[in-house]
Each structure stands twice: as structure tokens, then as C-alpha cells.
Structure 1
């Protein structure tokens, strides 16, 4: 980023597919697990990990490392042209 080689460090579209890995990396969760499966009584949207993920994202948007308005097509185009080094995608994106 500082060298001017990339517009952003990472593209996130804001979809659950993009956000869930980030949230869980910080220890966030949607529903807790009680050993027998998901516990609908343990909703983790306001858990410390979810809050930490949101704060990290906000800090990186404010710093200019992540755009606050990227859609799927824009993210892939920026990745393909070298404007961003990282995107969240899967094998379905290989034939673009």
C-alpha cells in the first residue's frame, strides 16, 4: 500500500461469506455450541470477538486499507488488475 502498488490491502464485499471468517478469526460467533450442537439461546453477535472484528474492520477502513463499498465484480476486477492483493473467493471465481 505505502509503495503505491495497491489501492487497498483487502477487498471485502460485506457479505456473510466475506465477513464470517474475519469474525471467527477474532473469536466471534453467531450461535454458541453446547457440545450437542448449536445453542440458539447463546447468541454471540455482541460477543467480544465480534466486537473486536468490527473494530478491526473499522480501523482498517479509516486507515484506507479496506474500501467501505466494494461489490463482488469490483473486488474481482481490482484483484485481476493488481489493485488489491487479496480477496475472499472460491473455486467458482477461477473461470472469470
Structure 2
């Protein structure tokens, strides 16, 4: 894992804390700078509002489905890891954005 000495390996609590820290940190960075970046590429404030609201709407719609999928899965960890990877990779597509 991260450390060779088993007594110093990350506990499950530490791993979950690290996971949520990374998620919260990325949201904080986006909230602070995405509006400025979107404005610099010509996105209006109204369009910026739609861009920020769309993920929330998607979470509301997809969340129930993913929850049901996780409940049926024998290994919840796999669902969580795959979901985290997808949620980390999708914003990379914003680099190709040229307008609204």
C-alpha cells in the first residue's frame, strides 16, 4: 500500500477522510475560479448559472440509481471507486470547451 510497515498503513477512517478532503478541496477550487474562467472564455453569468446547476440536477437524478446499484452490489467499494474515478475524469472534458 502506501507504507511498507503494516502498523503505519492508512486506516479505513484515514482513507475515507482523505477521500472526502480531496472531494471538498476540488469543489472549493472550482467554486472560487470556475466563474472567472468561464467569464474569460465568453460565458455569460446566466449561462454560468446553468453550468453550475446542471451537475446538481444530474446528482438528484442519477443519485437514486447509483444508490440502488450500490445496494445490489456485493462489493460497495467497487461502486464507490468507479464512481469517484468517473466524477474525477468528467470535468477534464471542460478543457475542450469553446463556448456555451
Q: Identify whether the pair has TM-score above 0.5, normalized to the shorter chain.
A: no
Larger proportion of helix: 2
> Structure with the greater relative contact order (CA < 8 A, sep ≥ 6): 1 or 2?
1
Greater Cα radius of gyration, structure 1 or 2: 2
Q: TM-score, normalised by structure 2?
A: 0.30
